[in-house]
Structures are given as C-alpha cells and as structure tokens.
Amino acid sequence: MTAAESLTSTSVDLDAPLTAADLRRAASPVSVVAGDGVRARVERGRAFLRDVLNEEERPVYGATTGFGALVGFPGRQEQADQCDNTLAHLGAGQGPDLDPVVCRAALLVRVWSLAQGVSGVSAHVVDGLAAMFATTFVPAIPRYGSVGASGDLIPLAYAAQALRGRGDAYADGQRMPASEALRRTGLTPLTLDGRDALALVNGTSLTTAATALALDSVRASHRALQALTCLLADLLGCDPGFLDPRLMSAYGHRGAIDVATRMRETLAGTTPSGTRALQEPYSIRCSPQLLGAAEDALRYAGGVVAADLSSVSDNPLFFPADDLVVHGGNFFGQPAAFASDVLAMVTAQLGNLAERQLDLLVDPTRNGGLPPMLAAGPGRQHGMQGVQLATTALVAELRHAALPAGMQSLPTNLHNQDVVPFGTQAALRAYDMAALLALLCGSLAVGLRQAAHVGARRPTSPACAALLDTLSEAVPPIDPDRPLDADVRRAAALLTTELP
C-alpha cells in the first residue's frame, strides 16, 4: 500500500468529495484533514465577510440581524454576544439522545460544507471540528426539535454548544458535562462569533447524515435478502425458472433485470427437486420483481444522498469573486425528505418479504414437509416460534413507521417558515427502520440455518452451500430450545457487514 493509499484509508480529506464510507469511518476516531486548499478558501470567504460587515448598507442575515421571523430587528452589537443570541434560544430540544454514530456523521457533513469556503466562517472553526474527529468526543443531541428547514437548527445548536463546552457530551462512551468531555479528550472549547454560530446550525447536515446512513444499511439488507431468497429456493428445491433472463428482459425494469442476474449467479448449479408445485408463492416467484423495484428506488435515493453530500447547505452564502452575499434557501431539506420517505417504503416492503419468507419456511404445508416451526421435536421443542412472533411485531412497527413525513408541512416561526419538509423526521425514521430490517434479515437467516438442521436438503448451488456454511458457523442449531435474540443479532451483523 502506498502512503497516499494509506492516508485515504485512514483519513477524511475535506478537499475531496464526501462519501457514505467517510460517514461510517467517522463513527470512530479518524483523521479529518483540512489542507492548504481548504484553509485558503475558508480564509478568503472570511475576509470577504469582514469587508461586507464594514459596509453599513449591506445587511447580513444573522450577523447584523435577528433570526427567523425576527430578521427585521437588529442583532446584538458584539459578535460574541451575537453567538449567544444565535444558540441560546435554540436550546429547546427534547427526547432521548441521538445515536452517537449519527451525531458524528452529521458533524462531518457540516464541517465539509463549511470547508467549501462560502459560509464566511473562521478558519479555527473548521480546524476545531476536524480535531474533534480524532477523539471520542460526541455532543449529546436530543432527537426532537428540527423541522429540516432553515437547517437542523435545534440539533446542531446542541452540537455547537457542546463544542463550546456547554451542555452535555460523551467521551469514551460516557455521558458527562461537555466541558469535562472536552478536557478528557484534549480539545479546546470553540470560540464563535455570530456568523460562526449561525453557519454551524443553518444546514441540513443531520438530515443528510441520517439519510446516508439509512441508505447504506438498507442497501446491505437488500443484498442480504437477495442471497437469502436464493438459499431459501435452493433448500426447498425450487425451480429457478422465475429468474430466467428472457422473462426478466420482457419485464423491462432495469433494477429487476440486475437483481435477477445476481440471483442467477448465486443459484448457479442448483438442481430443482422436482417435487414443488408448478408455481411458487409470490414471496419466491415474484422476489426479483420486488427486489428489483427496491433496487430502482435505492438508486434514486443514492442520487439524492450523493448530491446532498456534495452540497453546501447554509444561508447566506458568500461569493468573494463576484462581490456577492446571497440570501436563499439552501438549508431546505426536501430532497432528503423525499428520499427518506422512499427508503421507508422500500424498507417496509423488504421487511414484509423477509417475514413472509420465514412464515413459508416454518409452515409444514408449504415448506416441503419440514416440521412445524422447524422444531427439532415439535411439542417438546418450539424451534422458530418465538422468532416468528417477533418478526410479526417488527413488520407491524415498520408499517406503522412508513407514513411519509416529507409532505406533512406545518407552518411555524410566525409563518416565516410557512412550508417545511420535515426531512429530519423522515431521515431519522428511515435510520431506525433500517435497523429493524436488518433484524428481520437475521431472523430469516436463523430460520434457514435451522431448516438445514431439521431435514432440508443440502443446497445444490455452491454459493448457497457456502452461505449456509457461514451461517452454520455463526449460529448453532436450535436443539434444544434456547433464547435466540443474540443469534438473530449475530446473523444480522454477519449478513449486513460481511456479504459482498
């Protein structure tokens, strides 16, 4: 490995495009590099802001004015006071703390946006945020409070305050006063003026981060379900004709064609048992159409995430070369709201598929004569019965959560924010749902492993046989009964982190 490759694998360069992989890396201490190009851009934008503020006839939102509906009133005279004016009133969040993984990802999105040099922030703000990522410091951010417009104001205000040493934060996984967390991790409290404070909060970085992480997780489960569906078909001895390339070409949908191609590769070498009905239930026969539609939807969401990760979400923006201060709405998180709502629908239907496939597998009238609930000794043992109950509950939760958020606009802020996207709600909901989908995949995987134990045939496809062997190494047979919660989680982690 070259030195450049080593740096790429262990650091995040703010002068390079931001990726979902960068967000995952930021969950643990990582080097975030703000190089000479970043510094030059940021300092140029900051110098332009100073020049503009010296021109009394050029008002700058948040630097010389109040905020939101109070923009028509002057702000505080001193910039340090204007920072407090920005952040103090936003300390209104409620609910449990957000997942630290999401918090750190959100701040990486934020610092990348600031590093583009059009937000007018101080260079030491970018440096301070970059330094945080080399530590275990995580701001304590309450879940509820953002409407995903004018940025994720309330959540990001908690992050900014924690970086100043106010409020609470985590260090090495322990919650404590932010001042103590800064001390333990060797960080210096950030000093902010009014523009710095507003730039930290006036973007949809939490929404973007949660959407990107949700998409990443759903993609992993989607890949897992393709493989598990193939293993189910092979264990039962199904005819793979439902994946025929001529059939799929006639269907015409790109995602379905691509999914069927991957599934045919997984099932290569399989031999039908010849004992199944002419047509399989839809949870097998229509799986490439369902998984293919999900593939198309995930590609749409991926395009939105890619755009958001390369987006500057802030207001106003400063363009020194054109002598322009532009006030607008780049903090409006509607794209991520729609993408997250699509993710929620995809997740709910993928969850339905996994639950229906497990139901088929435990039913002796449809599973080729395997024992009910895949119990090694029905009556004396209960096999998958508890897990099957839990999957029903998980699917009910997914269905309940799948109500779209991105069209639930509710005016606020004296009708200054008269339309809002609720992107934060959509993104965090999609993130939570993605975790439930992974558990459903893990549940199905445990069932498939147990089916092999209680009499299903050895898979005839080499790829399916290898997958079953991997699952069998991770999950012992259910004989006798035992609690299976940890087995489900172990299988879910294996499927969503180790499958290619």
Give pLDDT tens digits along the chain (500 positions).
333 333 345 799 999 999 999 999 999 999 999 999 999 999 999 999 999 988 877 887 777 776 665 666 676 666 667 788 789 889 999 999 999 999 999 999 999 999 999 999 999 999 999 999 999 999 999 999 888 777 899 999 999 999 999 999 999 999 999 999 999 999 999 999 989 999 999 999 999 999 999 999 999 999 999 999 999 999 999 999 999 999 999 999 999 999 999 999 999 999 999 999 999 999 999 999 999 999 999 999 999 999 999 999 998 999 999 999 998 888 888 999 999 999 999 999 999 999 999 999 999 999 999 999 999 999 999 999 999 999 999 999 999 998 887 777 767 665 566 677 778 999 999 999 999 999 999 999 999 999 999 999 999 999 999 999 999 999 999 999 999 999 999 999 999 887 66
**∠454-459-460 over CA atoms, to 5°?**
145
Q: Which residues are catalytic?
A: 61
Of 181, 203, 225, which residue sits at a domain end?
203
Cα–Cα nearest to 394, from 446, 336, 454, 347: 347
Query: 381-406: buried (b, 16+ CB within 10 Å) or exposed (e) per residue?
Result: bbbbbebbebbeebbeebeebbebbb
- The answer on 150 and 265 residing in a single domain is no
- The answer on 260 and 134 residing in a single domain is no
- The answer on 181 and 281 residing in a single domain is no
Of 157, 172, 203, which residue sits at a domain end?
203
Q: What one-character DSSP code corresponds to residue 417?
A: B
Cα–Cα nearest to 236, from 391, 365, 384: 365
- The answer on 99 and 199 residing in a single domain is yes
The two three-digit tokens of residue 92, written as one number: 């209104």
- The answer on 262 and 179 residing in a single domain is no
d(C-alpha 11, C-alpha 153), whole Å: 28
The two three-digit tokens of residue 424, written as one number: 């934060």
- The answer on 185 and 236 residing in a single domain is no
Query: Cis omega (within 30 of 0) on the bond before 480?
Result: yes
- The answer on 137 and 60 residing in a single domain is yes
Return the CATH number at 369: 1.20.200.10
Spell out the residues 6+ positions from residue 200 whose beta carbon is closer than 8 angstroms to its own: 110, 114, 121, 125, 156, 157, 159, 160, 192
The two three-digit tokens of residue 174, written as one number: 């322990």
- The answer on 248 and 143 residing in a single domain is no
Return the CATH number at 157: 1.10.275.10
d(C-alpha 360, C-alpha 371), whole Å: 12
The predicted pLDDT at position 73 comes to 61
- The answer on 187 and 217 residing in a single domain is no
Cα–Cα nearest to 139, from 110, 111, 181: 181
DSSP string, 66-134: --GGGTTSB--SSHHHHHHHHHGGG---EEEEPPHHHHHHHHHHHHHHHTTS-S---HHHHHHHHHHTT
Total domain count for the chain? 2
The predicted pLDDT at position 78 comes to 66
Segments of 249-376 assigned E as strands: 317-319, 324-326
- Cβ of 254: how many Cβ atoms within 10 Å? 12
Cα–Cα nearest to 12, from 29, 38, 33, 36: 33
The predicted pLDDT at position 497 comes to 84
CB-count burial class (<10 Å; 0-12, 13-18, 19+) for 349: middle
Q: What one-character DSSP code corresponds to residue 308?
A: H
Cα–Cα nearest to 122, from 218, 196, 207, 44: 196
Q: Terminal CA-to-CA distance of the chain, rounded, Å?
A: 22
pTM here is: 0.94
Within a 13 Å sphere around the CA of 289, how many CA atoms are in the beta-carbon half? Answer: 11
Do residues 118 and 312 touch, judged by C-beta distance below 8 A?
yes
Domain extent, residue 457, equals 211-498
- The answer on 198 and 224 residing in a single domain is no
Strand 11-13 to 31-33 pairing: parallel
Of 182, 203, 224, which residue sits at a domain end?
203
d(C-alpha 330, C-alpha 202), whole Å: 9
- The answer on 276 and 129 residing in a single domain is no
- The answer on 181 and 155 residing in a single domain is yes
d(C-alpha 34, C-alpha 131), whole Å: 10
The two three-digit tokens of residue 30, written as one number: 């990582």
What are the CA-CA distances from residue 76 to residues 63, 84, 152, 325 (Å)? 9, 9, 23, 20
What amino acid occupies position 97?
D
